[in-house]
Structure 1
Amino acid sequence: MKKKICFILVLFLSIPTLYAAKDVKVMQYKHVGPITVNKPFMADTMNVNGKPYEVKNLLKSTLPFDRALSSSEVLQADTAGTVSFAIPQKGYALHLFSFFLNSDRYVKGTLEVTGNGAFEVYVNDNSVGASSELTMEPRRYEIVIKYLTTEADTCNATLKTVFKSKDNVEVIASLNPEKRYTLNNILEGKDFRGIAVSPNGKYTLVKYINRFPKGKSESYSQLLDATTGRVLLQDNGFLTNARWMPKSNLLYYTRKGLNGKELITVDPTNMRETVLVDNLPEGTFKFTPDEASLLFTIEEEGPKEGNELIRVLEPNDRLPGFRDRSFIWRYDLRSGLYEQLTFGYQDTYINDISADGRYLLFSIDENTYTELPHTRSSLYKMDLTNMAVDTIWEKAPYVNQAAFSPDRKQLLVTGSGDAFDGIGLNIKEGQLSNDFDGQLFIYNLTDHKATPLTKDFNPNVMNAVWNRYDGQIYILTEDQDCQYIYTCNPVNGKIKQIVTSEEVISGYSLANAAPVLFYYGQSASNANRLYAYDLKGGKSKLMYDLSSDKLKDIVLGEVHDWNFTSDDGTTIQGRYYLPPHFDPSKKYPMIVYYYGGTAPTNRMLEMRYSMHMYAALGYVVYTLNPSGTTGFGQEFAARHVNAWGIKTADEIIKGTKLFCKEHNFVNDKKIGCIGASYGGFMTQYLQTRTDIFAAAISHAGISALSSYWGEGYWGYGYCSVANKGTYPWNNPEFFTKQSPLFNADKINTPILLLHGNVDTNVPIGESIQMFAALKILGKTVEFVQVDGENHGIMGYSKRIGWQNTIFAWFAKWLKDEPEWWTAMYPERTL
Structure 2
Amino acid sequence: MNIRALSLAGLATLWLGASAGKIDVTSFRYQGPFVVNHPVMVDSVDVNSKKFDRTSLLATPISLETAANGREITGDVVLGSNRDAIHLLNFSIDNERYVTATLKIDGLRHHEVYLDGKKLDGDKLTLTPATHNVTIKCLTDNSSADSLHVAIESEHPGLMKINSGVEKRRFTLNDVMTGKRFSSSTLSPSGKYLLRSYYYTHDGGANTFSFDICDFASGRVLAKRTKSLRWMPKSDRLYYTRYVDGKLQLVTVDPANGSETVIANDVPESYFTISPTEDFLIYTRQQEGPKEKNADLYEIIHPEDRQPGWRNRGTLMKYDFATGMSTPLTFGNRNTGLCGLSDDGRKLLYQVSESRLEKRPTTLTSLYLLDLSDNSVMTLVEKEGFFGGAILSPDGTKVALIGSPEAYGAVGRNLPDDRIPSMYDNQLYVLDVATKAITPLTRDFDPSVDNVKWNRNDGNIYFIASDRDRRSLFRVNPTSGKIDNLNAKEDYVMSFSLSNGSNDMVYVGQGAVNSDRLYSLNTKNLRQNLIEDLSAERLDGVMLGECKPWIYKSSRGDSICGRYILPPDFDPTRKYPMIVNYYGGCSPTSRTFESRYPHHVYAAHGYVVLVINPSGSAGFGQEFASRHVNTAGEGVAEDIIEGVRQFIKANPWVDASKIGCIGASYGGFMTQYLQTKTDLFAAAISHAGISDHTSYWGEGYWGYSYSEVSMAKSYPWSHSDLYVKQSPLYNADKIHTPILFLHGDSDTNVPFGESIQMYTALKLLGRETAFVAVRDANHQVTEFNKRKQWQETIFAWFAKYLQDDESWWESLYPKKTLD
TM-score range, shorter chain: over 0.9
Q: Distance in 2 between matches of 1:811 and 1:260?
A: 56
d(CA) in 2 for partners of 1:483, 1:797: 30
Judged with a 3 Å threshold, the aligned counterparts in structure 2 of structure 1 residues 67 and 226 are, in CA distance, closer, same or farther, namely: farther
CA distances 1:771-792 after superposition (whole Å, capped 9, x unpaired): 1111111111111111111111
Is residue 215 from structure 1 mapped to residue 205 from structure 2 by the alignment? yes
Task: Determine helix, strand or coil for the equivalent of 1:468.
Answer: coil
Name 1:302's counterpart in structure 2.
289
Whichever residue aligns with residue 102 of structure 2, its letter is T
What is the CA–CA distance in structure 2 between the aligned matches of 1:98 and 1:800, rounded to whole Å?
A: 27
Residue 287 of structure 1 corresponds to 274
1:224 aligns with 2:224: no
Does structure 2 conserve the Cα–Cα contact (< 8 Å) formed by 1:25 and 1:173? no
Q: Say whether residues 1:421 and 2:409 are aligned partners.
A: yes
Q: Is structure 2 residue 111 aligned with structure 1 residue 119?
A: yes
Residue 350 of structure 1, CA deviation: 0.5
Displacement, 1:115?
Answer: 3.4
- Alpha-carbon separation, structure 1, partners of 2:163 and 2:440: 62
* One-letter amino acid of the structure 1 residue matched with residue 78 of structure 2: F
CA distance in 2, matches of 1:20, 1:86: 28
Q: Structure 2 CA distance, aligned partners of 1:559 and 1:432?
A: 35
Off by >6 Å, runs of 4+ in structure 1: 13-16
What does residue 94 of structure 2 align with?
102
Change (3 A) 1:226 1:368: same
Secondary structure in 1 matching 2:488: coil
- The equivalent residue for 2:603 is 615
Could you give the per-residue CA deviations for residues 153-212 of structure 1, whole angstroms, max 9, x where no partner exists?
223x13333433345653322314422212111111111111221101111212211111
Task: Report the CA distance between 1:73 and its aligned residue.
Answer: 1.9
* Separation in structure 2 between the aligned mates of residue 116 and residue 99 of structure 1, nearest angstrom: 17
| Structure 1 contact 203–225 (Cα < 8 Å) conserved | yes
Match of 2:797 in 1: 809
Structure-2 change in CA distance of 1:782 and 1:489 (3 Å): same
Q: CA RMSD in A?
A: 2.1
Shift of 1:476: 0.6
1:244-259 → structure 2 map (5 Å cutoff): 244-258=231-245
2:49 is matched with which residue? 50
TM-score, normalised by the number of residues in structure 2: 0.96
Listed one character per residue, the Cα deviations across residues 271-311 of structure 1 (whole Å, up to 9, x for unaligned) are 11111121333222111111121111111111222321111
- Post-superposition Cα deviations, 1:648-699, rounded to whole Å, max 9, x if no partner, equal 1111111111111111111111111111111111111111111111111111
Aligned twin of 2:248: 261
Q: CA deviation at 1:585?
A: 1.1
Distance 1:15-1:329 versus aligned 2 partners, 3 A rule: closer
> Which residue does the alignment assign to 1:517?
505
| Mapping 1:760-799, distance limit 5 Å | 760-799=748-787
Instruction: Give the aligned partner of residue 71 of structure 2.
Output: 73
Gaps of 5+ in 1: 78-82
- Matching of residues 21-40 of structure 1 within 5 Å: 21-40=20-39
1:195 to 182, 185, 189: 185
Conserved? CA contact 2:582–2:667, under 8 Å: yes
Query: Deviation of residue 229 (structure 1)?
Result: 2.3
Name the count of aligned residue pairs: 814
| Post-superposition CA distance 1:213-233 (Å, at most 9, x none) | 122222222212222322222
SS in 2 for 1:693: coil
Distance 1:14 1:260, change over 3 A: closer
Q: What's the secondary structure of 1:628's corresponding residue?
A: coil
Bigger shift: 582-591 or 275-284? 275-284
1:472 correspondence with 2:493: no
- Please tell me the residue identity of whatever aligns with 1:434: S
Question: CA 1:9–1:710 in 2, change beyond 3 Å: closer, same or farther?
Answer: farther
1:4-25 per-position Cα deviation (integer Å, ceiling 9, x unaligned): 23255999x9999xx9843211
Q: Distance in 2 between matches of 1:596 and 1:628?
A: 7
Q: Percent identity?
A: 43
1:102 is paired with a residue of what secondary structure?
strand
AA aligned to 2:3 is K
* Contact 2:21–2:156 under 8 Å retained in 1: no
Contact 1:560 1:575 in 2 (8 A): yes
Asked whether 1:84 is paired with 2:74, we answer no
Q: Which among 138, 150, 170 is matched to residue 129 of structure 2?
A: 138
* Residues 746 and 777, structure 2, Cα contact 8 Å, conserved in 1: yes
- Code of the residue aligned with 2:140 in structure 1: it is T
Amino acid at match of 1:41: V
State the one-letter code of the partner of 1:616.
A
The structure-2 alpha-carbon separation of the partners of 1:161 and 1:394, relative to structure 1 and needing over 3 Å to count, comes to same
* Alpha-carbon offset, residue 555 of structure 1: 0.7
Judging changes above 3 Å, is the alpha-carbon distance between structure 1 residues 116 and 284 closer, same or farther for their aligned structure 2 residues?
Answer: closer
Please, which of 350, 365, 371 is the counterpart of residue 353 of structure 2?
Answer: 365
1:306-345 alignment runs, 5 A limit? 306-345=294-333
2:259 pairs, out of 267, 272, 284, with: 272
1:282 is paired with a residue of what secondary structure?
Answer: coil
Q: Deviations over 1:121-178 (max 9, x none)?
A: 111111124x33221112111111122222x2223x1333343334565332231442
Query: Unaligned 5+ residue runs, structure 2?
Result: none
Of 556, 560, 578, the match for 1:590:
578
Q: CA deviation digits over 1:61-85, x for unaligned, max 9?
A: 3332334542x221113xxxxx431
Say whether residues 1:206 and 2:209 are aligned partners: no
Who is 1:60 aligned against?
59
Say whether residues 1:693 and 2:681 are aligned partners.
yes
1:658 to 640, 646, 655: 646
Distance between the aligned counterparts of 1:168 and 1:140, measured in 2?
A: 15
- Taking the aligned partners of 1:281 and 1:446, their CA distance within structure 2 comes to 34
Partners of 1:264 and 1:307 lie apart in 2 by 43
Judge conservation of contact 1:741–1:773 (CA < 8 Å) in 2: yes
Deviation at 1:815, TM superposition (A): 1.2
Q: Distance in 2 between matches of 1:586 and 1:522?
A: 31
CA contact (8 A) 1:475 1:487 kept: yes
Amino acid at match of 1:5: A
Give yes or no for contact 1:377–1:400 (8 Å, CA) kept in 2. no
Equivalent residue, structure 2, for 1:80: none
Report the Cα distance in structure 2 between the residues aligned to 1:231 and 1:566, rounded to whole angstroms. 52
Contact 2:251 2:261 in 1 (8 A): yes
* 2:628 aligned residue (634, 637, 640): 640
- Aligned-residue offset at 1:49: 2.1
